[in-house]
Amino acid sequence: MFAFLRTHAGQHRILGGAAVLAVTQAGASVAGLVRDRLLNQTFASDLSVVDAYIASFRPSDLLFQLTVMSGIATVLVPMLARASDKGEESSKLLSSVMAVGSLTFGAIALVCGIFFPLIAPALVDFDGETLANYIQFGRLALFTNVLFVCGNSLGQYLVTVQKYWFYGLTPILYTLGTIVGTLFLTPYVGALAPMVGTVGGAIVYVIVRFGAAMYAGYRPTLCLWHPALSTMGVLMLPRMAALAVLQLQLLLFDTLASGLPAGSVTVNSNARNFQSFVVGVIGIALAQSAFPLLSQAAAKGEGERFRMYVHKGIFMIVGLTIPAAVVLVAATPIAVRLVNLETVYGAFSAALLVYAFSIPFESLNHLVLRSYYALHVTALPAVMSVINGGLAIAAAWMLAPTIGIQAIPAGFLIGQVVSLVGLLAFLPFATRRTLNAAA
């Protein structure tokens, strides 16, 4: 029995790795649920504080995804997989990525932090104290993402060597920072408490991932530049455009919601978090578990093995996400009580219903996108991501005057469906072309 589990459910298998990631993602989602409920309870008399907290991460995340994560999340795992057979080469590559990424984003964050009070009024429809909170929170969010340059780079290394427990537990620690800050610091620093806790959680996140990477074999080196960075720069260019649109989508969704009744940003974010729980536990877990295996198969030119992983992943995602979406809709009354949003039950339940329809499509998109990245094909996924974001933004803005907050999840659903159809249509061609060329 134990031998069977070791063979078929170990971290080096799709199912085994996905099971670990599903457990840790579930833990992170539960921690996020506790955080959301605590924020909504603590600032129940003024949900605009929570609106400002949530929205303040969008500008920083836009810049971070554009300048750093477009390379880290897209091509670092396949490059580390190729470098893993060359002794210390993977450690040199990882050290170089962290050094260059930290210097680049650190400079961007410093400039944006200085000028953020001038930029903020154009990004949200807040005013008065809410706008002041948004500016203060936004500056701290920039600092948090400076820390995440190293944290996320180390995370990709842990994925490459398939140390999923270490990779998956750190987001829980990050969220616990926000919870601790809100619980214990609010009496002293007021609305700033959640952000102070978030920064503390980010510091712990980086320290734990660094220790885990060292344990897994990473050896830090003084390497400012690695030859592979040139290739990474070329491959990440299409993804930069895609992530820019997707992050712009989130920012504009908050801009749209900030012009609706107070609390609309919070309602949309909480509904999306429940949807993300299912996507994370099933779709992202399976996709992330398959990513190093797909990368290894692509690196060795093993087409049949590559296709087997893709088909197996699709089958598992479809079979699990559809019933999970139905359960989520049925559990709406429980969900609204868990996050303490009974006063806006109608808006919350409507948003959650539409988001539930998007669960299978977004989950499959995570797998299919990683299939392209494993092949080092980034242009087509970028085009489809741009189309995804563009359609989502346009649909939400057109529908908002008619259906209100439901327009945001409706736009999101439309974008996910169109993106998935396009990606699946071209994946067989991309697989044959890339693997045949490699052979």
pLDDT digit string, tens, across residues 380-419:
888 888 889 889 999 998 998 888 888 999 999 999 999 9
Locate 231 and state its tokens.
């290739």
Residue 142 near residue 60 (C-beta atoms within 8 A): yes
| Predicted confidence (pLDDT) at residue 204 exceeds the cutoff of 80 | yes
Q: Which 3 state secondary structure label does DSSP give 328?
A: helix
Three-class SS state of 270: helix
Q: Tell me the C-alpha distance between 71 and 241, whole Å.
A: 12
pLDDT value of residue 7:
45
| pLDDT of 235 strictly over 70 | no
Average pLDDT for 217-229: 79
pLDDT greater at residue 31 or residue 161: 31
Length reported for the chain: 439
Q: Fill in the amino acid letter for 383.
A: V
Give the pLDDT band (50/70/90) at residue 323: very high
Smallest Cα–Cα separation from 353: which of 395, 406, 429, 308? 406
What's residue 144's pLDDT? 94
Q: Name the pTM for this structure.
A: 0.69
Q: 433: Cβ–Cβ under 8 A, 6 or more apart, which residues? A: none
Please give the torsion angle defined by the CA atoms of residues 285, 379, 77 and 426, in that order, rounded to the nearest 10 degrees. Answer: 50
The pLDDT score that the predictor gives to residue 431 is 86
State the number of CA atoms in the 13 A half-sphere of 241 facing the CB: 16
Cβ atoms of residues 137 and 53 within 8 Å? yes
Asked whether the beta carbons of 83 and 89 are under 8 A apart, the reply is yes
